[in-house]
A and B are shown apart, each in its own frame.
Chain A
Amino acid sequence: MKLPSQSGLMPADSASGTTLHTIVAVMSFLACLTLGAVLTLSRLASEWTDGLSGSVTVQLLPSSQISPDDQMSEALRLVRQWPGIFAARAISREEAGKLLEPWLGEGNVLEDLPVPQLIEVTLTPGRPVELEGLGHALADGVPGALLDDHQRWNQELASFAASSEAVGWAVLLLIALATLAIVIFATQAGLQAHREIVEVVHMIGARDVFIATEFQSHFLWLGLRGGVIGLMLAAATLLGSGYLWDVREAPVGAQLLPQFISAPYHYAWLLFVPAVIGLIAMSTARMTVLRVLGRMP
Protein backbone atom coordinates (compact mmCIF):
# COMPACT_ATOMS: atom_id res chain seq x y z
CA MET A 1 0.00 0.00 0.00
CA LYS A 2 1.31 3.42 -0.96
CA LEU A 3 1.61 5.79 1.95
CA PRO A 4 1.60 9.55 1.56
CA SER A 5 4.81 11.31 2.47
CA GLN A 6 4.87 12.75 5.96
CA SER A 7 3.11 16.08 6.15
CA GLY A 8 4.27 18.98 8.27
CA LEU A 9 3.19 18.97 11.88
CA MET A 10 1.64 22.39 11.54
CA PRO A 11 -1.23 22.65 9.07
CA ALA A 12 -0.65 25.13 6.26
CA ASP A 13 -3.07 27.98 6.89
CA SER A 14 -4.08 29.24 3.50
CA ALA A 15 -5.95 32.30 4.81
CA SER A 16 -3.36 33.88 7.08
CA GLY A 17 -0.75 32.58 4.66
CA THR A 18 -1.99 34.84 1.86
CA THR A 19 -2.18 37.88 4.11
CA LEU A 20 1.29 37.24 5.46
CA HIS A 21 2.74 36.66 2.02
CA THR A 22 1.28 39.97 0.86
CA ILE A 23 2.71 41.88 3.81
CA VAL A 24 6.11 40.29 3.43
CA ALA A 25 6.10 40.94 -0.32
CA VAL A 26 5.29 44.62 0.27
CA MET A 27 8.09 44.84 2.84
CA SER A 28 10.49 43.27 0.38
CA PHE A 29 9.32 45.63 -2.39
CA LEU A 30 9.96 48.68 -0.20
CA ALA A 31 13.29 47.29 0.95
CA CYS A 32 14.41 46.66 -2.63
CA LEU A 33 13.50 50.18 -3.78
CA THR A 34 15.22 51.72 -0.78
CA LEU A 35 18.30 49.58 -1.18
CA GLY A 36 18.40 50.41 -4.89
CA ALA A 37 18.35 54.12 -4.06
CA VAL A 38 21.01 53.67 -1.37
CA LEU A 39 23.30 51.80 -3.75
CA THR A 40 22.90 54.46 -6.42
CA LEU A 41 23.52 57.27 -3.98
CA SER A 42 26.59 55.63 -2.55
CA ARG A 43 28.01 55.14 -6.00
CA LEU A 44 27.28 58.71 -7.08
CA ALA A 45 28.60 60.09 -3.80
CA SER A 46 31.89 58.29 -4.12
CA GLU A 47 32.29 59.41 -7.72
CA TRP A 48 31.52 62.99 -6.85
CA THR A 49 33.89 63.02 -3.89
CA ASP A 50 36.74 61.40 -5.75
CA GLY A 51 36.46 63.94 -8.54
CA LEU A 52 36.14 61.04 -10.95
CA SER A 53 32.82 62.26 -12.19
CA GLY A 54 34.39 62.63 -15.58
CA SER A 55 34.71 66.23 -16.51
CA VAL A 56 36.05 69.66 -15.63
CA THR A 57 35.78 72.93 -17.52
CA VAL A 58 38.35 75.49 -18.56
CA GLN A 59 37.09 79.06 -18.90
CA LEU A 60 38.97 81.46 -21.12
CA LEU A 61 38.26 85.05 -20.13
CA PRO A 62 38.86 87.66 -22.79
CA SER A 63 42.38 89.03 -22.36
CA SER A 64 44.25 91.94 -23.86
CA GLN A 65 47.51 89.95 -23.86
CA ILE A 66 46.45 87.24 -26.26
CA SER A 67 44.02 86.78 -29.15
CA PRO A 68 41.00 84.53 -28.49
CA ASP A 69 42.14 81.96 -31.09
CA ASP A 70 45.66 81.74 -29.70
CA GLN A 71 44.23 81.56 -26.19
CA MET A 72 42.07 78.62 -27.21
CA SER A 73 44.76 76.65 -29.04
CA GLU A 74 47.33 77.28 -26.31
CA ALA A 75 44.94 76.08 -23.60
CA LEU A 76 43.89 73.01 -25.58
CA ARG A 77 47.53 72.06 -26.17
CA LEU A 78 48.36 72.41 -22.46
CA VAL A 79 45.35 70.42 -21.32
CA ARG A 80 45.76 67.59 -23.82
CA GLN A 81 49.33 66.82 -22.83
CA TRP A 82 48.41 66.70 -19.11
CA PRO A 83 48.51 63.16 -17.68
CA GLY A 84 45.15 61.54 -17.08
CA ILE A 85 43.20 63.68 -19.51
CA PHE A 86 41.05 61.65 -21.85
CA ALA A 87 39.84 64.39 -24.18
CA ALA A 88 39.48 68.15 -24.43
CA ARG A 89 37.01 69.89 -26.69
CA ALA A 90 36.26 73.52 -27.36
CA ILE A 91 32.62 74.40 -26.84
CA SER A 92 31.44 76.42 -29.78
CA ARG A 93 29.64 79.74 -29.41
CA GLU A 94 26.36 78.19 -30.59
CA GLU A 95 26.61 75.47 -27.97
CA ALA A 96 27.43 77.97 -25.28
CA GLY A 97 24.47 79.99 -26.43
CA LYS A 98 22.22 76.96 -26.02
CA LEU A 99 23.52 76.36 -22.52
CA LEU A 100 22.89 79.96 -21.53
CA GLU A 101 19.54 80.29 -23.25
CA PRO A 102 17.50 79.60 -20.11
CA TRP A 103 19.15 82.55 -18.41
CA LEU A 104 19.71 84.98 -21.21
CA GLY A 105 16.84 84.22 -23.52
CA GLU A 106 16.99 83.55 -27.23
CA GLY A 107 18.74 85.76 -29.72
CA ASN A 108 22.26 86.67 -30.51
CA VAL A 109 23.09 87.94 -27.08
CA LEU A 110 26.51 86.34 -27.10
CA GLU A 111 27.62 88.47 -30.01
CA ASP A 112 27.40 91.54 -27.83
CA LEU A 113 28.62 90.11 -24.52
CA PRO A 114 32.18 89.36 -23.47
CA VAL A 115 31.31 85.79 -22.64
CA PRO A 116 34.25 83.48 -21.84
CA GLN A 117 35.09 80.66 -24.23
CA LEU A 118 34.82 77.18 -22.74
CA ILE A 119 36.75 73.93 -23.02
CA GLU A 120 35.13 70.73 -21.88
CA VAL A 121 37.76 68.38 -20.46
CA THR A 122 36.98 64.69 -20.04
CA LEU A 123 39.06 62.77 -17.50
CA THR A 124 40.24 59.23 -18.03
CA PRO A 125 37.79 57.13 -15.96
CA GLY A 126 39.12 55.67 -12.74
CA ARG A 127 42.40 57.60 -12.82
CA PRO A 128 43.10 60.39 -10.34
CA VAL A 129 44.28 63.56 -12.05
CA GLU A 130 46.52 66.29 -10.63
CA LEU A 131 43.84 68.95 -11.18
CA GLU A 132 45.42 71.53 -8.90
CA GLY A 133 48.65 71.40 -10.87
CA LEU A 134 46.72 71.73 -14.11
CA GLY A 135 44.98 74.79 -12.72
CA HIS A 136 48.31 76.44 -11.88
CA ALA A 137 49.84 75.49 -15.20
CA LEU A 138 46.88 77.02 -17.05
CA ALA A 139 46.89 80.19 -14.98
CA ASP A 140 50.66 80.61 -15.52
CA GLY A 141 50.79 79.57 -19.17
CA VAL A 142 47.66 81.03 -20.73
CA PRO A 143 46.48 84.53 -19.83
CA GLY A 144 42.83 84.61 -18.78
CA ALA A 145 42.57 80.77 -18.43
CA LEU A 146 40.77 79.47 -15.40
CA LEU A 147 40.17 75.85 -14.39
CA ASP A 148 36.80 75.09 -12.86
CA ASP A 149 36.95 71.60 -11.38
CA HIS A 150 33.32 71.73 -10.11
CA GLN A 151 34.77 70.88 -6.72
CA ARG A 152 32.37 73.00 -4.70
CA TRP A 153 29.37 71.74 -6.60
CA ASN A 154 30.61 68.15 -6.32
CA GLN A 155 31.19 68.48 -2.59
CA GLU A 156 27.65 69.68 -2.09
CA LEU A 157 26.19 66.93 -4.21
CA ALA A 158 28.27 64.38 -2.36
CA SER A 159 27.16 65.51 1.07
CA PHE A 160 23.58 65.59 -0.11
CA ALA A 161 23.99 62.04 -1.42
CA ALA A 162 25.61 60.90 1.82
CA SER A 163 22.82 62.24 4.00
CA SER A 164 20.15 60.77 1.72
CA GLU A 165 22.02 57.49 1.91
CA ALA A 166 21.88 57.61 5.71
CA VAL A 167 18.15 58.20 5.53
CA GLY A 168 17.93 55.19 3.20
CA TRP A 169 19.72 52.96 5.70
CA ALA A 170 17.42 54.17 8.44
CA VAL A 171 14.41 53.28 6.29
CA LEU A 172 15.87 49.81 5.67
CA LEU A 173 16.33 49.35 9.40
CA LEU A 174 12.71 50.33 9.98
CA ILE A 175 11.54 47.87 7.35
CA ALA A 176 13.59 45.13 9.02
CA LEU A 177 12.10 46.00 12.40
CA ALA A 178 8.58 45.99 11.00
CA THR A 179 9.20 42.58 9.41
CA LEU A 180 10.50 41.33 12.73
CA ALA A 181 7.41 42.58 14.55
CA ILE A 182 5.09 41.01 11.96
CA VAL A 183 6.83 37.66 12.25
CA ILE A 184 6.73 37.72 16.05
CA PHE A 185 3.04 38.51 15.86
CA ALA A 186 2.36 35.81 13.27
CA THR A 187 4.38 33.21 15.16
CA GLN A 188 2.52 33.89 18.36
CA ALA A 189 -0.78 33.75 16.52
CA GLY A 190 0.33 30.47 14.92
CA LEU A 191 1.30 29.01 18.28
CA GLN A 192 -2.03 30.10 19.68
CA ALA A 193 -3.99 28.68 16.76
CA HIS A 194 -2.10 25.40 16.95
CA ARG A 195 -1.91 25.30 20.72
CA GLU A 196 -3.48 21.86 20.81
CA ILE A 197 -0.95 20.44 18.35
CA VAL A 198 1.97 22.07 20.11
CA GLU A 199 0.82 20.70 23.45
CA VAL A 200 0.32 17.16 22.18
CA VAL A 201 3.68 17.09 20.44
CA HIS A 202 5.26 18.52 23.58
CA MET A 203 3.62 15.88 25.80
CA ILE A 204 4.70 13.10 23.48
CA GLY A 205 8.29 14.07 24.22
CA ALA A 206 9.27 16.49 21.47
CA ARG A 207 12.11 18.81 22.35
CA ASP A 208 11.53 22.52 21.97
CA VAL A 209 13.91 22.73 19.01
CA PHE A 210 11.90 20.03 17.19
CA ILE A 211 8.78 22.18 17.42
CA ALA A 212 10.71 25.37 16.68
CA THR A 213 12.14 23.76 13.54
CA GLU A 214 8.62 23.08 12.25
CA PHE A 215 7.75 26.75 12.66
CA GLN A 216 11.03 28.20 11.50
CA SER A 217 11.10 26.35 8.19
CA HIS A 218 7.53 27.50 7.56
CA PHE A 219 8.60 31.10 8.13
CA LEU A 220 11.84 30.73 6.16
CA TRP A 221 9.84 29.76 3.09
CA LEU A 222 7.28 32.46 3.75
CA GLY A 223 10.08 35.05 3.91
CA LEU A 224 11.79 33.74 0.79
CA ARG A 225 8.60 33.56 -1.27
CA GLY A 226 7.32 36.96 -0.16
CA GLY A 227 10.80 38.40 -0.58
CA VAL A 228 11.18 37.15 -4.14
CA ILE A 229 7.74 38.46 -5.11
CA GLY A 230 8.66 41.88 -3.70
CA LEU A 231 12.01 41.81 -5.48
CA MET A 232 10.41 41.03 -8.82
CA LEU A 233 7.87 43.81 -8.37
CA ALA A 234 10.65 46.25 -7.47
CA ALA A 235 12.75 45.24 -10.48
CA ALA A 236 9.74 45.62 -12.75
CA THR A 237 9.02 49.04 -11.28
CA LEU A 238 12.59 50.26 -11.71
CA LEU A 239 12.97 48.91 -15.22
CA GLY A 240 9.51 50.04 -16.25
CA SER A 241 9.85 53.60 -15.03
CA GLY A 242 13.41 53.70 -16.35
CA TYR A 243 12.05 52.83 -19.78
CA LEU A 244 9.38 55.54 -19.62
CA TRP A 245 11.99 58.05 -18.55
CA ASP A 246 14.26 57.11 -21.39
CA VAL A 247 11.52 57.58 -23.90
CA ARG A 248 10.71 61.06 -22.67
CA GLU A 249 14.35 62.06 -22.42
CA ALA A 250 15.75 61.97 -18.92
CA PRO A 251 15.48 65.23 -17.03
CA VAL A 252 18.68 66.60 -15.58
CA GLY A 253 19.46 64.93 -12.25
CA ALA A 254 17.30 61.85 -12.81
CA GLN A 255 20.39 59.74 -12.25
CA LEU A 256 18.89 56.79 -10.43
CA LEU A 257 17.08 55.05 -13.23
CA PRO A 258 19.68 55.39 -15.99
CA GLN A 259 22.23 54.20 -13.44
CA PHE A 260 20.13 51.20 -12.59
CA ILE A 261 19.89 50.23 -16.19
CA SER A 262 23.47 50.99 -17.15
CA ALA A 263 25.07 48.99 -14.34
CA PRO A 264 22.78 46.11 -13.32
CA TYR A 265 25.63 44.14 -11.69
CA HIS A 266 25.94 46.96 -9.18
CA TYR A 267 22.46 46.03 -7.99
CA ALA A 268 23.18 42.36 -7.38
CA TRP A 269 22.91 43.23 -3.71
CA LEU A 270 19.16 43.42 -4.20
CA LEU A 271 19.17 39.62 -4.59
CA PHE A 272 20.09 39.43 -0.93
CA VAL A 273 16.87 41.13 0.14
CA PRO A 274 14.67 37.99 -0.04
CA ALA A 275 17.42 35.96 1.62
CA VAL A 276 17.77 38.47 4.45
CA ILE A 277 13.99 38.63 4.90
CA GLY A 278 13.85 34.82 4.97
CA LEU A 279 16.59 34.69 7.58
CA ILE A 280 14.97 37.40 9.69
CA ALA A 281 11.62 35.56 9.54
CA MET A 282 13.22 32.22 10.34
CA SER A 283 15.31 33.31 13.30
CA THR A 284 12.54 35.48 14.72
CA ALA A 285 10.05 32.62 14.52
CA ARG A 286 12.53 30.27 16.14
CA MET A 287 13.26 32.59 19.02
CA THR A 288 9.60 33.36 19.53
CA VAL A 289 8.64 29.67 19.63
CA LEU A 290 11.46 28.81 22.02
CA ARG A 291 10.45 31.68 24.29
CA VAL A 292 6.79 30.61 24.37
CA LEU A 293 7.61 26.91 24.81
CA GLY A 294 9.98 27.80 27.63
CA ARG A 295 6.95 28.73 29.69
CA MET A 296 5.44 25.24 29.33
CA PRO A 297 6.23 22.72 32.06
Chain B
Amino acid sequence: MVRFENVGMRYGLGPEILRDISFTLEPGSFHLLNGPSGAGKTSLLKLIYLAERPSRGAISMFGREIAATPREELPSLRRRIGVVFQDFRLLDHLTVFENVSLPRRVMGEFESGYRAEVEELLSWVGLGNRLNAKPPTLSGGEKQRVAIARAVVAKPELLLADEPTGNVDPEIGGRIMRLFIELNRLGTSVLIATHDQRIMERLPATRIFQLIDGRVTTAQSAKDLVLAEAMRA
Protein backbone atom coordinates (compact mmCIF):
# COMPACT_ATOMS: atom_id res chain seq x y z
CA MET B 1 0.00 0.00 0.00
CA VAL B 2 2.90 2.35 0.79
CA ARG B 3 6.45 1.55 -0.24
CA PHE B 4 9.54 3.71 0.35
CA GLU B 5 12.81 2.80 -1.35
CA ASN B 6 15.98 4.59 -0.33
CA VAL B 7 14.08 7.79 0.14
CA GLY B 8 15.97 10.92 1.12
CA MET B 9 14.49 14.30 1.82
CA ARG B 10 15.66 17.83 2.48
CA TYR B 11 13.88 21.16 2.81
CA GLY B 12 15.17 23.49 0.12
CA LEU B 13 18.94 23.52 0.23
CA GLY B 14 19.07 22.47 3.87
CA PRO B 15 20.61 19.31 5.25
CA GLU B 16 19.13 15.95 4.41
CA ILE B 17 16.80 15.19 7.32
CA LEU B 18 15.62 11.79 6.09
CA ARG B 19 18.18 9.35 4.69
CA ASP B 20 17.85 5.98 2.99
CA ILE B 21 14.37 5.33 4.27
CA SER B 22 12.99 2.00 3.10
CA PHE B 23 9.86 0.33 4.43
CA THR B 24 6.46 -0.90 3.37
CA LEU B 25 3.03 -0.56 4.92
CA GLU B 26 0.71 -3.46 4.13
CA PRO B 27 -3.06 -3.04 3.82
CA GLY B 28 -4.74 -3.49 7.17
CA SER B 29 -1.55 -3.02 9.17
CA PHE B 30 -1.05 -0.95 12.31
CA HIS B 31 2.23 0.88 12.84
CA LEU B 32 3.77 3.32 15.22
CA LEU B 33 6.43 5.84 14.26
CA ASN B 34 8.66 6.76 17.13
CA GLY B 35 11.61 9.08 17.50
CA PRO B 36 12.87 12.11 19.37
CA SER B 37 11.59 15.58 18.66
CA GLY B 38 13.02 16.93 15.41
CA ALA B 39 13.84 13.45 14.15
CA GLY B 40 11.66 13.94 11.09
CA LYS B 41 8.43 12.09 11.96
CA THR B 42 6.22 14.86 10.63
CA SER B 43 8.40 15.16 7.53
CA LEU B 44 8.05 11.43 6.86
CA LEU B 45 4.27 11.69 7.15
CA LYS B 46 4.30 14.66 4.77
CA LEU B 47 5.97 12.48 2.18
CA ILE B 48 3.23 9.89 2.61
CA TYR B 49 0.34 12.32 2.34
CA LEU B 50 2.02 13.87 -0.67
CA ALA B 51 2.62 17.31 0.77
CA GLU B 52 6.33 17.08 0.05
CA ARG B 53 8.38 15.40 -2.63
CA PRO B 54 11.42 13.28 -1.81
CA SER B 55 14.76 14.62 -2.95
CA ARG B 56 15.79 11.12 -3.93
CA GLY B 57 14.52 7.56 -3.84
CA ALA B 58 11.15 6.19 -4.92
CA ILE B 59 7.76 6.28 -3.21
CA SER B 60 4.84 4.23 -4.35
CA MET B 61 1.33 4.69 -2.97
CA PHE B 62 -1.57 2.38 -3.61
CA GLY B 63 0.50 0.73 -6.29
CA ARG B 64 1.42 3.91 -8.13
CA GLU B 65 4.87 5.38 -8.56
CA ILE B 66 4.48 8.92 -7.24
CA ALA B 67 7.27 10.34 -9.38
CA ALA B 68 5.49 9.09 -12.49
CA THR B 69 2.01 10.19 -11.44
CA PRO B 70 0.74 13.38 -13.08
CA ARG B 71 -0.15 16.15 -10.67
CA GLU B 72 -3.87 16.04 -11.57
CA GLU B 73 -4.13 12.49 -10.27
CA LEU B 74 -2.67 13.23 -6.83
CA PRO B 75 -5.95 14.51 -5.30
CA SER B 76 -7.64 11.15 -5.82
CA LEU B 77 -4.72 9.47 -4.02
CA ARG B 78 -4.89 12.01 -1.18
CA ARG B 79 -8.59 11.26 -0.72
CA ARG B 80 -7.70 7.70 0.21
CA ILE B 81 -5.58 9.02 3.11
CA GLY B 82 -6.85 10.60 6.31
CA VAL B 83 -4.46 12.86 8.19
CA VAL B 84 -4.51 14.11 11.77
CA PHE B 85 -2.05 17.01 11.62
CA GLN B 86 0.18 17.64 14.60
CA ASP B 87 -1.05 21.25 14.74
CA PHE B 88 -4.65 20.19 13.81
CA ARG B 89 -4.98 22.70 10.97
CA LEU B 90 -8.65 23.37 11.51
CA LEU B 91 -10.24 26.22 9.57
CA ASP B 92 -11.08 28.85 12.17
CA HIS B 93 -13.92 30.50 10.27
CA LEU B 94 -15.84 27.26 9.82
CA THR B 95 -17.86 25.47 12.48
CA VAL B 96 -16.87 22.14 13.97
CA PHE B 97 -19.47 20.46 11.78
CA GLU B 98 -18.17 22.16 8.64
CA ASN B 99 -14.57 21.36 9.49
CA VAL B 100 -15.31 17.70 9.91
CA SER B 101 -17.43 17.65 6.73
CA LEU B 102 -14.68 19.21 4.65
CA PRO B 103 -13.25 16.01 3.12
CA ARG B 104 -16.72 14.92 2.03
CA ARG B 105 -17.49 18.35 0.64
CA VAL B 106 -14.21 18.41 -1.26
CA MET B 107 -15.21 15.11 -2.84
CA GLY B 108 -18.33 16.79 -4.15
CA GLU B 109 -20.83 15.24 -1.77
CA PHE B 110 -23.89 17.14 -0.62
CA GLU B 111 -24.61 17.87 3.02
CA SER B 112 -27.66 15.63 3.05
CA GLY B 113 -25.38 12.70 2.19
CA TYR B 114 -23.06 13.04 5.17
CA ARG B 115 -24.85 15.08 7.85
CA ALA B 116 -26.04 12.15 9.94
CA GLU B 117 -22.65 10.42 9.77
CA VAL B 118 -20.76 13.54 10.77
CA GLU B 119 -23.10 14.16 13.71
CA GLU B 120 -22.76 10.59 14.87
CA LEU B 121 -18.98 10.72 14.60
CA LEU B 122 -18.81 13.98 16.53
CA SER B 123 -20.95 12.69 19.36
CA TRP B 124 -18.76 9.60 19.44
CA VAL B 125 -15.68 11.76 20.13
CA GLY B 126 -17.70 13.66 22.74
CA LEU B 127 -18.40 16.80 20.73
CA GLY B 128 -22.08 16.21 19.95
CA ASN B 129 -23.02 19.48 21.60
CA ARG B 130 -20.35 21.60 19.94
CA LEU B 131 -21.38 21.19 16.30
CA ASN B 132 -21.72 24.91 15.69
CA ALA B 133 -18.73 26.06 17.72
CA LYS B 134 -15.79 27.62 15.93
CA PRO B 135 -12.32 26.14 16.59
CA PRO B 136 -10.91 29.24 18.36
CA THR B 137 -13.45 28.64 21.14
CA LEU B 138 -12.38 25.01 21.67
CA SER B 139 -9.86 23.63 24.10
CA GLY B 140 -6.73 21.93 22.77
CA GLY B 141 -8.15 18.49 23.38
CA GLU B 142 -11.43 19.37 21.71
CA LYS B 143 -9.58 20.66 18.65
CA GLN B 144 -7.64 17.44 18.52
CA ARG B 145 -10.83 15.41 18.51
CA VAL B 146 -12.25 17.56 15.71
CA ALA B 147 -9.05 16.96 13.75
CA ILE B 148 -9.37 13.22 14.30
CA ALA B 149 -13.00 13.21 13.27
CA ARG B 150 -12.09 15.07 10.08
CA ALA B 151 -9.36 12.54 9.31
CA VAL B 152 -11.66 9.54 9.55
CA VAL B 153 -14.91 10.97 8.21
CA ALA B 154 -14.25 9.82 4.64
CA LYS B 155 -13.30 6.28 5.74
CA PRO B 156 -9.75 6.45 4.41
CA GLU B 157 -7.77 3.37 3.44
CA LEU B 158 -4.77 4.79 5.25
CA LEU B 159 -4.89 6.88 8.41
CA LEU B 160 -1.88 8.99 9.41
CA ALA B 161 -1.94 10.56 12.85
CA ASP B 162 0.75 12.91 14.10
CA GLU B 163 0.81 12.92 17.92
CA PRO B 164 -2.96 12.34 18.14
CA THR B 165 -2.96 12.00 21.91
CA GLY B 166 -0.68 14.89 22.71
CA ASN B 167 -3.32 17.15 24.18
CA VAL B 168 -5.85 14.85 25.77
CA ASP B 169 -6.24 13.16 29.12
CA PRO B 170 -5.71 9.39 29.40
CA GLU B 171 -9.45 8.76 29.33
CA ILE B 172 -9.96 10.53 25.96
CA GLY B 173 -6.59 9.24 24.77
CA GLY B 174 -7.79 5.69 25.34
CA ARG B 175 -11.01 6.42 23.48
CA ILE B 176 -9.11 7.78 20.52
CA MET B 177 -6.84 4.76 20.41
CA ARG B 178 -9.88 2.46 20.53
CA LEU B 179 -11.31 4.40 17.57
CA PHE B 180 -8.08 3.81 15.64
CA ILE B 181 -8.06 0.14 16.50
CA GLU B 182 -11.69 -0.16 15.47
CA LEU B 183 -10.94 1.52 12.13
CA ASN B 184 -8.00 -0.82 11.70
CA ARG B 185 -10.26 -3.82 12.27
CA LEU B 186 -12.54 -2.50 9.56
CA GLY B 187 -9.59 -2.52 7.15
CA THR B 188 -7.91 0.87 7.44
CA SER B 189 -4.12 0.87 7.69
CA VAL B 190 -2.97 3.06 10.53
CA LEU B 191 0.35 4.84 11.09
CA ILE B 192 0.70 6.87 14.25
CA ALA B 193 3.65 9.13 14.96
CA THR B 194 4.03 9.48 18.69
CA HIS B 195 6.39 9.39 21.60
CA ASP B 196 3.62 8.68 24.06
CA GLN B 197 4.93 5.66 25.99
CA ARG B 198 1.44 4.66 27.15
CA ILE B 199 0.27 4.21 23.59
CA MET B 200 3.29 2.14 22.73
CA GLU B 201 2.76 -0.12 25.68
CA ARG B 202 -0.94 -0.55 25.19
CA LEU B 203 -0.93 -1.30 21.47
CA PRO B 204 -0.44 -4.62 19.80
CA ALA B 205 1.41 -2.82 17.04
CA THR B 206 2.79 -5.17 14.49
CA ARG B 207 5.83 -3.03 14.06
CA ILE B 208 7.32 0.14 15.46
CA PHE B 209 9.37 2.34 13.18
CA GLN B 210 12.13 4.02 15.04
CA LEU B 211 13.39 7.20 13.45
CA ILE B 212 16.84 8.27 14.60
CA ASP B 213 19.37 10.43 12.77
CA GLY B 214 17.15 10.49 9.71
CA ARG B 215 17.13 6.70 9.37
CA VAL B 216 14.42 4.17 10.13
CA THR B 217 14.97 1.01 12.11
CA THR B 218 12.20 -1.37 13.02
CA ALA B 219 11.49 -2.90 16.36
CA GLN B 220 9.07 -5.78 16.79
CA SER B 221 7.37 -4.51 19.90
CA ALA B 222 7.38 -1.82 22.50
CA LYS B 223 9.45 -4.03 24.79
CA ASP B 224 12.23 -4.30 22.19
CA LEU B 225 12.13 -0.60 21.81
CA VAL B 226 12.43 0.13 25.48
CA LEU B 227 15.29 -2.35 25.59
CA ALA B 228 17.05 -0.65 22.69
CA GLU B 229 16.62 2.74 24.29
CA ALA B 230 18.02 1.43 27.53
CA MET B 231 21.03 -0.04 25.80
CA ARG B 232 21.78 3.19 24.01
CA ALA B 233 21.61 5.18 27.20
Interface string of A199-210 (1 = CB under 8 A from B): 111011111001
Q: Give every chain A residue within 8 A of B49 (Cβ-Cβ).
A: 203
Main SS of chain A's interface residues?
loop
B98 touches A207 (CB 8 A): no
Min CB distance B101 to A, Å, is 8
Which residue of A1, A7, A203, A297 contacts B98 across the interface (Cβ within 8 Å)? A7
| A9 at the binding interface (Cβ < 8 Å) | yes
Q: Give residues 262-296 of A contacting B (CB, 8 Å).
A: 294
Q: A201-B102, A203-B51, A204-B106 are in contact. Are A7 and B78 (CB under 8 A)?
A: no
| B209 at the binding interface (Cβ < 8 Å) | no
A51→B103 CA distance, assembly (Å): 68
Please tell me the size bucket of the interface on A.
20 to 34
Q: Give every chain A residue within 8 A of B103 (Cβ-Cβ).
A: 204-205
A205 touches B132 (CB 8 A): no
Q: Give every chain B residue within 8 A of A205 (Cβ-Cβ).
A: 75-76, 78-79, 81, 103, 106-107
How many A-B pairs have beta carbons closer than 8 Å: the answer is 62
Interface size on B, residues (CB 8 A): 33
Which residue of A3, A197, A210 contacts B106 across the interface (Cβ within 8 Å)? A210
Q: Give every chain A residue within 8 A of B131 (Cβ-Cβ).
A: 1, 3
Q: Give every chain B residue within 8 A of A294 (Cβ-Cβ).
A: 71
Task: Name B95's closest neighbour in chain A (CB-CB).
Answer: A4
B111 touches A9 (CB 8 A): no
Task: Name B104's closest neighbour in chain A (CB-CB).
Answer: A204
| B89 at the binding interface (Cβ < 8 Å) | yes
| B52 at the binding interface (Cβ < 8 Å) | yes
B102 touches A204 (CB 8 A): yes
A297→B81 CA distance, assembly (Å): 16
Task: Name B51's closest neighbour in chain A (CB-CB).
Answer: A203
* Most B Cβ at <10 Å: residue of A3, A201, A210, A294: A3
Interface string of B123-143 (1 = CB under 8 A from A): 000000001100000000000
A203 touches B83 (CB 8 A): yes
18 contacts between A and B (CB under 8 A): A1-B119, A3-B97, A3-B131, A4-B95, A4-B132, A6-B101, A196-B91, A197-B91, A199-B89, A200-B102, A203-B51, A204-B78, A204-B106, A204-B150, A205-B107, A206-B75, A210-B106, A297-B50
The 3 closest A-B pairs by CB, nearest first: A205-B79, A205-B78, A11-B93
19 additional A-B pairs beyond A9-B94, A196-B89, beta carbons within 8 Å, are A1-B131, A3-B97, A3-B111, A3-B131, A7-B98, A196-B91, A200-B102, A203-B49, A203-B50, A203-B83, A204-B78, A204-B79, A204-B103, A204-B106, A204-B150, A205-B76, A206-B106, A207-B72, A297-B51
